[in-house]
Amino acid sequence: MLSIQNVSKTYEVRQGWRGHKHIVKALQNVSLQVEPGCCLGIVGESGAGKSTLGRMVLGLERPDRGEIWFQGQNLNPSNRGRLWAMRRDLQVVFQDSVSAVNPRLTIREIVAEPIQNYLKLSVSETTKKVEHLLEIVGLRATDADRYPHQFSGGQLQRITIARAIALNPKLIVLDEPVASLDMTIQAQILHLLADLKQQFEIAYLLISHDLAAVSFLADRLAVMYQGEIVEILDDAKQLSQLQHPYSQQLMAAQLPIHPRDRSLSSNEIRS
Ligand SMILES: Nc1ncnc2c1ncn2[C@@H]1O[C@H](COP(=O)(O)OP(=O)(O)OP(=O)(O)O)[C@@H](O)[C@H]1O
């Protein structure tokens, strides 16, 4: 469904007071596939190139080399019309839910936005749909008339998820969806995303630095290091099968040393 083919991207940055030019290889020959209804997790430390890849998939930036295909169509940022049509099936949830919503709009207006852009529904049908979406993500229909500042970070993330699923998308790019939430809320949001994936057969491209979160939600896992995919795990639950030295370093840095405690950290999410 999503095919990322040999994608590379470099940025030219200026460093130091003399402003010397410096080339950053953000993505190097990245190839990945996401199957319908499946979650591919991309894990790597800060600067690995995960968000750059997410932006390419969303058509927000163009690769220097390589191509991205979504549902048989080339995702070319210069073809605005096609991109607009494709965005109906391709949604995004960002880490920062506060900046992802307009503080001046009610929750009803926020969640209704994609519906109004893409569907021809009457006002009462839109109202019904918005309230149903809020209930699906664990909020109340009466929350629709409140404003973003009246919600916690976790609740706001539920609202951006409601907006992302409003058009029954085929794929959602989840860019660090739980990184700014505390542990308990992280687990709740990961459970919600897992339920929605199953219920609506949505595929996810999950971008995260958090190996435990990726292992919980993803079916397959790709490890990214300095713009390259260094390892792919066909079963994201089998973290002990990671072999690349960088993957092991990532695992050692994030998960408890003792295997018994490692399974505990997954259990913390599962319970
Ligand atoms: N617009 C840009 N201009 C210049 N350099 C950029 C730009 N976007 C990304 N980079 C650089 O590309 C590299 C990859 O960045 P990217 O944000 O994709 O990594 P990441 O894995 O998502 O990290 P983080 O989790 O910190 O966002 C970094 O070295 C970053 O500084």
pLDDT band at 195 (very low <50, low <70, confident <90, very high): very high
Ligand 1 pocket test, pick from 4, 7, 10, 11 with the greatest ligand atom count within 8 Å of Cβ, gives 11
Per-residue pLDDT, 122: 93
Q: Is the CB of 84 under 6 A from ligand 1?
A: no
Assign residue 115 a region: left if phi > 0, alpha if psi is -120 to 50, beta otherwise?
A: alpha
Which value, in Å, is the radius of gyration of the alpha carbons in the chain?
19
Q: Which of 15, 21, 24 to mutate to test the pocket of ligand 1 (most atoms within 8 A of CB)?
A: 24
Taking every pair of Cα atoms in the chain, the longest distance, rounded to a whole number of angstroms, is: 60
The dihedral region occupied by 3, where left means phi > 0, alpha psi between -120 and 50, and beta the remainder, is: beta
pLDDT tens digits, one per residue of 144-177: 999 999 999 999 999 999 999 999 999 999 999 9
**What is the pLDDT of the chain when averaged over all its residues?**
91
Q: What is the ipTM of this complex?
A: 0.94
pLDDT above 90: residue 263:
no
pLDDT value of position 55: 94
The pLDDT > 90 percentage for the chain reads 75
pLDDT greater than 70 at residue 250: yes
> Mind listing the pLDDT tens digit for each residue in 60-92?
999 999 999 999 999 877 778 888 888 899 999
Nearest CA, atom 11, ligand 1? 26
Name the more confident of 237 and 258. Answer: 237
The pLDDT of residue 270 is 61
